[in-house]
Structure formats: structure tokens, C-alpha cells
Amino acid sequence: MMGKAKRVNSRYADTQMVHRLAHKVKWALKGLAGHTLHGYPLRFDYTKKELIDGAFSRLVPAPISFADLGGVWRIDGAYTFYILENYDVSSAFLVDTDFTDGVLERSRSHPNLVLVNQNFGSPAIREKIDSVDVLLLFDVLLHQVKPDWNQVLEMYAPVTDCFVIYNQQFTSSDTSVRLLDLGFDKYFELVRVKRKSELYKNLVEKTYETHPGHKRIWRDIHNVWQWGITDRDLIHTLETIGFSLVYQKNWGQFSNFKNFENHAFIFRKQRPAQ
């Protein structure tokens, strides 16, 4: 029986691997087509496009303003520019710590776009953002420390009516966890990055030294993976600050991270009873 069970488990694992590979090939081809036909970056993610389209075409009233927090890295603000060029938007903010030449050049064609070159976790930066209909948080909540991901949501809740979130959610725990608190061996077991890469080598060797650019210790910089956030905690946090879940979709395992899945959410500010 043991041998039969192992064979069944092996076939299941092989089937899952084939499905993941087919999924990657499918989205790679879509990315190539989008780059060729529309000029999207090769890393343009159509699952995020679907989430954006759902928010901007189905919400009533239709959003006319938004802020994209941390939307530059590896994608050159592509989702910000997609919204600006496909929907009737009166004002927009793109906030990040590193703006590329491509973003700066493209922004000149959009006078209704404000670039904010700072860490969006700073309360002072939040003060620069006027009230917006939609706040985009794509792949960034898991990086937020001091303020933590939940404190970021609380901080921005007063200035938006809708959170549109795409995040790599933790599936191996009932509660969220600061991954670095687990120790480096467990951390790298869960976070399947190259431990010997310059970034993560520095994280290990200089954990409590001050990062020269961020002016905080290496352990607290947003460039590294910080959190395993569970759906339960994310939904509870937003309900506590007055937002209701109106859309949720699971897009499956993130890369080779067996304990994380790509989940999409739309949360709408609760309206007082009439």
C-alpha cells in the first residue's frame, strides 16, 4: 500500500508541475503578444489587467482618480499608464522610490499624473495624495515593515473609497507571520530566492546594520520579502477599518513558492445605512 500511495502522490506532483508549466507558457505567450501589439512590458501581468478592468469598468460610480503605490519596479509603471490610456481619469498618483527613465519620459504625456518619488509607507507621503477613488497595491503589501502592511492599509483608508489588491498570500498558516522572525533557515525554505544573491547575502550578513540608502536596518527594508499574509487577516483588517470585500480570485501558486498563492481582491468602503 505504501508503494502505491507513493506512486499516486508522485503522479499528482507531476500533474501539478505540468499544469504550472502550461500556465507559465500561456502567460508568457500573452506577455509576448501584449508587448508586440500594445507595447506592454514583457512582465505585464494580464491577471492584474483583469483586476484593473473589473474595478474601473464595473464599479458604480466609475472611478475617475487613483493612486498606484509601488508600481514602478520591474514594470515601469505599466498599470498606471494602462489605466490612464484606457479609462477616463481626472487625476492619478504613482508613488515609488526609484523612477526609471522610461517612467519619467512617458509621464510627460500625462499632465494629470503626479509622480511621488518616496516610500509610500511614510505618513508624510500619504499627506501628498488627495482623496482618490481607487488605491492600487500590487505585490507590495508583503514588503511593508514599520509601518507594517496592516498599518499601511489603516493609514490610507481615509483617502480612498476602494482598495484594489494583488498579493502573494501565505497559505501555510491561519495567521500572518513576519517571515524573518522564523530564522533564516526557515525563511529561505519558504521564500525561494537565491540566498547567495547580493541582496539576500547582505540581508543575512548585515541584518542589523543600517542600509545606506533607506536609512534603516537591512532587516526592515522593503526590497526583501517580509511577510506571509493570510487571507483571513487581510480581510479582517480591512473590515475593521470599514471596507467590505466585493471581489476575490485565486490565481494559483506564485512561482516556485509552494506556500504562497497569487490572490486578487477588491474592497469597497462601507456606506452608512440610510
* Residue with grid cell 512617458, as numbered in its chain: 106
Helix axes 46-58, 78-86, angle to 10 degrees: 40
Instruction: Please give the pLDDT value at position 4.
Output: 64
Report the pLDDT value the prediction gives residue 41, as an integer from 0 to 100. 83
Instruction: Provide the CATH number for the domain around residue 159.
Output: 3.40.50.150
214 burial (CB, 10 Å; 0-12 / 13-18 / 19+) is: middle
Residue type at position 77: G
Count how many residues are written for the chain.
Answer: 274
Q: Residues 111, 4: one domain?
A: no
Q: Classify residue 220 by its DSSP letter.
A: G
Q: What is the DSSP letter of 158?
A: G
Average pLDDT over the chain reads 90
Tell me whether residue 167 is in a domain: yes
Cα(81)–Cα(103) distance, integer angstroms: 9
Q: Quick check: is 240 in a domain?
A: yes
Q: Give me the pLDDT at residue 36, please.
A: 56
Q: What pTM was computed for the model? A: 0.87
pLDDT digits (tens, 9 = 90+) for 110-134: 999 999 999 999 988 898 898 999 9
In a domain, 237, yes or no: yes
CB contact at 8 A, 175 and 150? no
* Domain residue limits at 26: 1-39
CA distance 225 to 177: 12
**Looking at the domain assignment, is residue 210 inside a domain?**
yes
Residue with cell 498599518: 151
**41 upstream amide cis, omega within 30 of 0:** no
Give residue-wise pLDDT tens across range 57-76. Answer: 999 999 999 999 999 999 99
Bridge partner residues of 134 (DSSP): 66
As a whole number of angstroms, the distance between CA 213 and CA 104 comes to 21
Residue 15: per-residue pLDDT? 56
Residue 37 is predicted with a pLDDT of 46
Neighbours of 232 (CB within 10 A): 13
- The verdict on 18 and 148 lying in the same domain is no
Quick one: 149 and 244 in the same domain?
A: yes
Q: Quick check: 43 pLDDT over 80?
A: yes
pLDDT digits (tens, 9 = 90+) for 132-148: 999 999 999 999 999 99
Alpha helices in the chain (DSSP H): 2-38, 46-58, 78-86, 101-107, 123-126, 149-156, 184-190, 198-205, 231-240
All three cell numbers of 142, joined, read 508583503
95 and 127 share a domain?
yes
Query: What is the structure's pLDDT at 274?
Result: 52
The answer to whether position 104 is within a domain reads yes
24 lies in the same domain as 139: no
Summarize the confidence of residues 205-216 as an average pLDDT. 95
> Are 60 and 168 contained in the same domain?
yes
**Choice among 33-47, 80-94, 256-270 with the minimum mean pLDDT:** 33-47
Rounded distance, CA 112 to CA 92, Å? 6
**239 plus 116 within the same structural domain:** yes
For the chain, the domain total comes to: 3
Is the Cα dihedral 114, 118, 122, 124 positive or negative?
negative
Same domain, 134 and 166: yes
Is pLDDT at 34 greater than 80 in this prediction?
no
Q: Angle at Cα 55 formed by Cα 243 and Cα 266, nearest 5°?
A: 35
- Cβ pair 176, 170 in contact under 8 A: yes
Confidence bin at 40 (pLDDT 50/70/90) = confident
Residue 224 maps to a domain: no
46 and 28 in a single domain? The answer is no
What confidence score (pLDDT) does residue 14 get? 58
Average pLDDT for 140-162: 97
- In 10 A of CB 241, how many CB atoms? 18
Asked if pLDDT for residue 30 goes beyond 70, the answer is no
69-73-77 Cα angle (round to 5): 65
Q: Are residues 69 and 103 in the same domain?
A: yes
In a domain, 274, yes or no: no
Residue 83 counted as domain residue: yes
